[in-house]
C-alpha cells in the first residue's frame, strides 16, 4: 500500500507527536512533525507532503501566513491544507467550516474524524488532478 505523506505543523510538540503516532498506527501515512512555524516552509519543500495539517495560532508566524507562502510556492501550491485549531467550536466544524477554501477542525480532534477529513481531502485532490489530466488530453474542438 502506498503511504501518503502528512506534514503536521504545530508549536505544541506533544500534540504533533500524538498526531504522528496515531496516524502512523493506521499504516496509511508517513508523518513528519514541524514545531517551528518559521521552518515549516523549508520542511515542506524537503518532505514533499501529500497533505498538511497545521495550527492557526503559532509563535513566529501564524497558519494563515504560512498557508499563503505555501500557495505562492509552485512546488507546494497544490497541497491540501487542513487547519487544526482551538478557535472554532465542534458545532462549527460539524457544519464544515471553511475559510479561504481551507477546512478547519477543532482541537482536540478524534482519530476517526481526522482520518476521514484527510481521506476526503486527498480524494478531492486526486479527483481534481484526474479532471485536469483529462482536460489536457482531450482534442481541441
The domain defined by 4-137 carries CATH number 3.40.718.10: no
Q: How far is CA 97 from CA 79, 82, 103, 106, in A?
A: 19, 11, 6, 10
Cβ(52)–Cβ(84) below 8 Å: no
Question: Could you tell me the end-to-end alpha-carbon distance of the chain, in angstroms, rounded to an integer?
Answer: 40
Would you place residue 105 in the very low, low, confident or very high pLDDT band (cuts 50, 70, 90)?
confident
- At 140 the pLDDT is 57
What interhelical angle do 111-137 and 13-25 show, nearest 10? 70
pTM: 0.85
What is the spatial distance between Cα 31 and Cα 6, in angstroms, rounded to a whole number? Answer: 5
What is the spatial distance between Cα 50 and Cα 4, in angstroms, rounded to a whole number? Answer: 6
Tens digit of pLDDT for each residue in 27-80? Answer: 999 999 999 999 999 999 999 999 999 998 899 888 989 999 999 999 999 999
Cβ(83)–Cβ(102) below 8 Å: yes
Q: Which three cell numbers stand for residue 108?
A: 482536540
Sheet arrangement for strand 81-85? 29-34, 4-9, 51-55, 81-85, 102-106, 98-99
**How buried is residue 11: exposed, middle or buried, by Cβ count under 10 Å (0-12/13-18/19+)?**
middle
- At 130 the pLDDT is 63
Amino acid at each position: 500500500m502506498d503511504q501518503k505523506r502528512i506534514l503536521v505543523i504545530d508549536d505544541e510538540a506533544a500534540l504533533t507527536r500524538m498526531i504522528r503516532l496515531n496516524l502512523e498506527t493506521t499504516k496509511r501515512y508517513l508523518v513528519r512533525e514541524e514545531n517551528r512555524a518559521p521552518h515549516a516552509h523549508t520542511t515542506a519543500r524537503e518532505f514533499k507532503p501529500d497533505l498538511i495539517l497545521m495550527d492557526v495560532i503559532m509563535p513566529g508566524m501564524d497558519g494563515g501566513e504560512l498557508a499563503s507562502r505555501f500557495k505562492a510556492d509552485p512546488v507546494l501550491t497544490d497541497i491540501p491544507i487542513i487547519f487544526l485549531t482551538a478557535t472554532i467550536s465542534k458545532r462549527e466544524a460539524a457544519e464544515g467550516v471553511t475559510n479561504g477554501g481551507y477546512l478547519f477542525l477543532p482541537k482536540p480532534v478524534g482519530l476517526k474524524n481526522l482520518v476521514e477529513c484527510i481521506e476526503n481531502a486527498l480524494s478531492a485532490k486526486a479527483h481534481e488532478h484526474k479532471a485536469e489530466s483529462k482536460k489536457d488530453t482531450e482534442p481541441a474542438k
